[in-house]
Structure 1
Amino acid sequence: MLQVLSEAATIAAQAPRIGAWYFEILFGLGALILLVAWLPIALHRVALSLPIVCVLIGVGVFSVTPFAVWAPHPDNAPVLVERSAELIVIVSLMGAGLKLGRKCGWHSWNVTWRLLGLAMPLTIAMVMILGSVLLGLGLATALLLGAALAPTDPVLAGDVQIEHDEDESEAEAKFALTSEAGLNDALAFPFIHLAIAIAAAGSLTAEVAGEWLLKDVVWKLAAGLAMGVAIGWLVGKMTYSLPSDTRLSRTGDGFIALGVTLVTYTATEFAGGYGFLSVFVAGLMIRQAAQGNEFNRRLHDFADEAERLLMMFLLLMFGGMIAGGLLADIGWEEALFAAVMLLIIRPVAGWLSLIGVKRPPFERGVIAFFGIRGLGSVYYLSYGFNHGSFESEYSLWGTLGLIIAASVVMHGVTVTAAFDKLSARSHKAWVARRGGGAA
């Protein structure tokens, strides 16, 4: 915490006197908040997304005087970047958990398990190979980059996630991407720890592998799952099952979702588990306990609003990083790496993992393609750099920045058309199954 405050103070000391621009800054903040509320409606039928607009605004703002001197870079405030990304990820994970009403099971979540158990390890392995061959990375650094890029981002994937009360049986692609994004952040964490351990030891030894397997895989995953189930069950009982005059739902306050998020995450971290996993699982448990109670929507809506505000701010800062030279040292190797990552590695890994799934080919293609990369990857890379010693840190930030920027644009301009087409095909199939009745 002291390190975060120190970095924030250092950044503030480098900025011009805020007082001279006080009203301009307030106006800009208010305008951006209004844009966050209004733009999703205005952009619904346009080949743009809220993340694209936020990044473009950030680039524009930090490209002009006097704001250009404020343009940040993750190397200048590594702990602040880590903690900021961490906060928005856990808020996003709670929102994702609160959306999903389908009970967790082997068959009902079949697509999700395939994406987690097959697509994610394949992605890590392919990124490691590509990073070693194309970027010249060593084992530890290549593994760190692979683990950071493997998860589908829960923050920027809002446009491909299922709505709170959407029919999950008809929106399998959205359900799969939402549940994948909710779980794969936690499942990538063991590989981040393995990369840190290899970097510290200098190589992958039997001792390193054994300690990693017991501590970072078995214990941390088990503790995260147990804490999420326990806290989610308890909050669900307190919210929906106590006598009506003592239930938490009686308050009507959606900000309870934020309190549950922070308590769950920190309690799990104290217990030595993965807080990302526990937050998402707690959200699932609360949604199951709600049994259709309208208060669950209030919890979800507050989490969603908080996530969008945090996302707006962090994407503005990301745009500032681009304006400040984040991509200045990108060469053809990094550009080729980003293209292969987004256009080949994720789609191929996703498609291979879904072989044998009884879903239409176009739907499987959509699931495989829309593995959006974003702020979760920022968190993992900054976590790795802050807890271990890795090569090529500065250039890897540029590579990651290019991948995120390209993902924001590529997925943002294609999402509306792709999911409209998918929805139309699903509706046509639904009509056909019912004997061609009226639409």
Structure 2
Amino acid sequence: MIENYNLFLLICGIAFLLGALFPILFKRTPVSLPMLQVTLGAIVGYFWITLDFLNPIENGVVIEKLTEIVVLVSLVGAGIKIDTELSWQLWRPTARLLLITMPIGIFAMAILGYYAFGLSLGAAILLGAVLAPTDPVLASSIQVGPPNTGGEDTPRFILTSEAGLNDGLAFPFVYLAIKTAEAFSEGDHFTSELLWSWFTHDVVWKIGAGLLVGIFVGKIMAKLVFSKYSKETTISQGYVVIALTLVAYGLAEFVHSYGFIAVFVAAFVFRRSERQHSYHQKLHDFAEQSEGLLMSLVLVTFGMFLGQGLQSGVELTWRVYIVSFTFLLLIRPLGGFIALTGLRLPHTEKYAISALGIRGIGTLYYLSYALNQGFFGEEDALKLWVVCSIVILASIFIHGLSAPRLLKMTPNKND
């Protein structure tokens, strides 16, 4: 175990080195950093190293906590760098993606999971819920730039705001899947009482309370940071980023609401205070560096997990590939087009926004969190891990290769 642990540290070090040298060595190539890091991990996991803690069925808590931290830091970074004002006209496309595209994805994948893979009802709903949100971590490369760096082009803003909010808004459906699985495990059925309880508590209360906690924490933190240092603050940006993240998340979870929503909203509200202050740039830089390091760790580990799975002979049927590519290349883009229909956006922008529904680390978190509740059978759990892993892997390569070209097709306000 010690040898494997030391080798694991070595591989992570190489992954970090790739991250440092990537802008120099791979500037003219179409590959992305996540593609390289996942490939490195997969090769190592298949040929050289076996780590027991990467077994998601037996050690799901490790995966849950690690991915949770990465998503939280990513949400803070996304909230801090948005310059766009909070107005219905500007945020209307985001609202449509959240209220139309995401439910379409959940429903479509639940149907496919139930009929194509023979998942139980709860597991099928869970499949749709964990794959529905756009990942804020892997999508960071297609999001808006640092604070106060100029006008934000529409596609990047919409993708950033969508990724920041839909991670929290996917949670109600994760809980619906958990409650459904719990009811069936106890011999009950899907009832109107279960649906009403889910709607009032997991939808209305938890979303509303999460929003309020985020607003409260964001305003309080901004007052503390900017009240005495309106021109030039000496407060460490590292402390502020971590405090903003943990206070918002911890308080939201304490009142039984959604911490992911609270964290993004707190960062966004904090950003509204002293909007032109250079301190926001410092916060963004720290959050971006932290996110990049944590993302590299997770991606190389995810690659090793894939390599170990292939080496152990995990069965990958044709259905897995068909469903994965159907979701990424048909369901998400079609759902995006439906949501954006009627809006005054250029066709190229609608296409880019609809196509770039990146799936990644957030999916790993939601899946491990739900399975750790203990209401899903091992057969369902294995199928879910296989399908979600292939979707994430395909997304990393498909979107990694296509994102730069798609965004170049759209008009840029900074040009």
TM tier relative to shorter chain = over 0.9
| 2:145 match | 163
Q: In angstroms, what is the RMSD of aligned CA positions?
A: 2.2
Q: Which aligned pairs between 1:348-387 and structure 2 lie closer than 5 A?
A: 348-387=334-373
| 2:295 match | 311
Q: Distance in 1 between matches of 2:73 and 2:381?
A: 27
Secondary structure in 1 aligned to 2:409?
A: helix
Q: Distance in 2 between matches of 1:400 and 1:170?
A: 32
Q: Distance in 2 between matches of 1:355 and 1:169?
A: 24
1:414/1:271 Cα in 2 relative to 1: closer, same or farther (>3 Å)? same
Give CA-to-partner distance per residue, 1:354-395, whole Å, 9 cap, x none: 001111111100000000000101111111111142241112
CA contact (8 A) 1:44 1:416 kept: no
CA contact (8 A) 1:95 1:303 kept: yes
Match of 1:139 among 110, 121, 133: 121
Letter of the 2:157 partner, please give it.
Answer: F
CA contact (8 A) 1:130 1:337 kept: yes
Match of 2:156 among 149, 170, 174: 174
Q: Distance in 2 between matches of 1:308 and 1:349?
A: 30
The Cα shift of 1:61 comes to 2.2
Match of 1:347 among 315, 325, 333: 333
Q: Give yes or no for the alignment of 1:402 onto 2:390.
A: yes
Q: Distance in 1 between matches of 2:289 and 2:239?
A: 10
1:178/1:82 Cα in 2 relative to 1: closer, same or farther (>3 Å)? same
For this pair of structures, how many residues does the alignment match? 407
Give CA-to-partner distance per residue, 1:105-139, whole Å, 9 cap, x none: 21110110010011001111111112122112232
Match of 2:32 among 24, 49, 54: 49
The Cα shift of 1:25 comes to 6.4
Give CA-to-partner distance per residue, 1:10-32, whole Å, 9 cap, x none: xxxxx2446xx85x766654443
Q: Distance in 2 between matches of 1:167 and 1:123?
A: 34
Rg (Cα) greater in structure: 1
Q: Distance in 2 between matches of 1:26 and 1:380?
A: 26
Q: Distance in 1 between matches of 2:181 and 2:373?
A: 10
Q: Distance in 1 between matches of 2:383 and 2:111?
A: 18
The Cα shift of 1:263 comes to 1.7
Match of 2:43 among 60, 71, 77: 60
1:255/1:51 Cα in 2 relative to 1: closer, same or farther (>3 Å)? farther
Give CA-to-partner distance per residue, 1:145-181, whole Å, 9 cap, x none: 1010000000111121111147775510000000000
Secondary structure in 2 aligned to 1:122?
A: helix
Name the % identity.
Answer: 37
Secondary structure in 2 aligned to 1:410?
A: helix
Q: Which aligned pairs between 1:188-337 and structure 2 lie closer than 5 A?
A: 188-202=170-184, 203-240=189-226, 242-244=227-229, 249-325=233-309, 328-337=314-323
- The unaligned stretches of length 5 or more in structure 1 are 1-14, 431-438
Secondary structure in 2 aligned to 1:387?
A: coil
Q: TM-score, normalised by structure 1?
A: 0.87
Letter of the 2:116 partner, please give it.
Answer: L
| 2:62 match | 80
The Cα shift of 1:254 comes to 3.3
1:289/1:316 Cα in 2 relative to 1: closer, same or farther (>3 Å)? same
1:416/1:149 Cα in 2 relative to 1: closer, same or farther (>3 Å)? same
Q: Distance in 1 between matches of 2:55 and 2:252?
A: 30
1:69/1:221 Cα in 2 relative to 1: closer, same or farther (>3 Å)? closer
CA contact (8 A) 1:255 1:302 kept: no
Match of 2:130 among 134, 148, 151: 148
